[in-house]
Amino acid sequence: MNDSVLTIEPTFFSDPFPTLKSLQETGPARPVRLPDGVEWWIVTRYDDVLAGMEDPRLSSAANDHMANEDGLPTTDAITSANNATRRSLVNLDPPDHTRLRRLVVRAFSAKRIDGLRPRVQQIADELLDAMAEAGDEADLMSAYASQLPIRVICELLGVPEDHEALRDKTGAAFQVVKDDESMQGMADAFAWLTDYTAKLIRAKQNAPGDDLLSDLIAVHEENNDRLDDEELAAMALTLLLAGHETTVQLIGNGMNALFNHPDQLDMLLRQPELVRPAVDELLRYDGPTNPGVARYATEDVPLGGVVIPRGALVLLSVAAANRDAGRFERADELDITRDAAAHLGFGRGIHYCLGARLARLEGEIAIGSLLRRFPDIRLAVPADRVEWRLGMVRGLVSLPVTLK
């Protein structure tokens, strides 16, 4: 392994932005070593990250090429993740990606997603009622942010109410592997999720319902261009994982950002109609895709004046790009009135997030409803005592709040 690379310490995940800003200012791309020992070329400037997302030489099958040259205990965890999601959309390139996305995109129609609005609102209201009954203090993550998205995605997929177990396992699946314990935790989580998904598919095949997973199974069983068994299982698992985990962090990170910017929180309380643009600004300012998305260089790739060598793992830093002063004025400031729709939190090009419309809908309802119900909500601890978890999806361990 190259000893000239920048070693990223686990503390990076608590506040990644100073390091990302420094990397952005010193060059377009730089080799770094993450806490799990894996080496990446990290790309941090908006135009370069955008170009990387649209460059076919940067393969999405990055997980297939991960190897730990230092012999750290990550192999089992990475293998478990790869086996479970190898044939999912996020890990495929054209032509397989093109075929698979064409088959499943109809399950995410605007009509289907927009039709969920009344039910999402009902779930939010039920959770807020429970918070009000429990007292004047709450952990916003466990009581609300982690509850709403898992209930929505389970209903959308037609999943039984195994919410608590699914939340625990998806959290373990997204953690950073740094030692034997976390490696085993990730491996166990993917094994549990893979088995759970297989049982769920069998149940839906025997008794299909009016839900997204049943629709995908119908596509799987068509005679012509269909989902194969591995693709169906990977898609179902990806929807369970990505379909709620990032939205949990959108709500949690977003509210934390508002607490730390009381002028913006007060503005949103006075002008609740700003919640829609606020969701995009919160995703730009401190979204869950942090530090970024993984790619693999299938050949030498010139990017921003630097040549990323063939065979390199590449981390396109969405978080850094979204705070690039060359693209966003006052990039390090939170401004819920700005047009932040150009943020890269949902990706771009062929890998633009299928669930973007649902995430925006949930974020808008979750944050808007919370502030209507509890206009005096505030952090219950000093801002520097809020604990961030280690993981490639940025999120909070807890968010203690006072409601009145």
Contact between 295 and 314 under an 8 Å Cβ cutoff? The reply is yes
Burial class (CB in 10 A: 0-12, 13-18, 19+), 380: middle
Picking from 68, 64, 99, 102, the residue whose alpha carbon sits closest to that of residue 83 is 64
Polymer length in residues for the chain: 404
pLDDT at residue 35 greater than cutoff 50: yes
Q: Alpha-carbon distance 134 to 129, whole Å? A: 9
Q: Which residue has the higher pLDDT, 259 or 12?
A: 259
6-402: CATH, from 2.40.50.100, 3.10.180.10, 1.10.630.10, 1.10.760.10: 1.10.630.10
Flag whether pLDDT at 70 surpasses 50: no
Averaged pLDDT, 19-39:
90
What predicted TM-score, i.e. pTM, was given to this entire model? 0.89
Q: What is the pLDDT of residue 69?
A: 41
Q: Which of 61, 111, 59 is CA-nearest to residue 81? A: 61
Q: Tell how strand 29-33 and strand 39-43 pair up.
A: antiparallel
From CA 319, how far away is CA 323, in angstroms rounded?
A: 7
357-380: per-residue pLDDT in tens?
Answer: 999 999 999 999 999 999 999 999
- pLDDT band at residue 68 under the 50/70/90 scheme: very low
pLDDT of 66: 60
Rounded to whole angstroms, how far apart are CA atoms 344 and 211? 29
Of 93-107, 290-304, 323-337, the poorest mean pLDDT is in 93-107
Strand ranges, E, within 52-173: 58-59, 137-139
d(CA 390, CA 212): 31
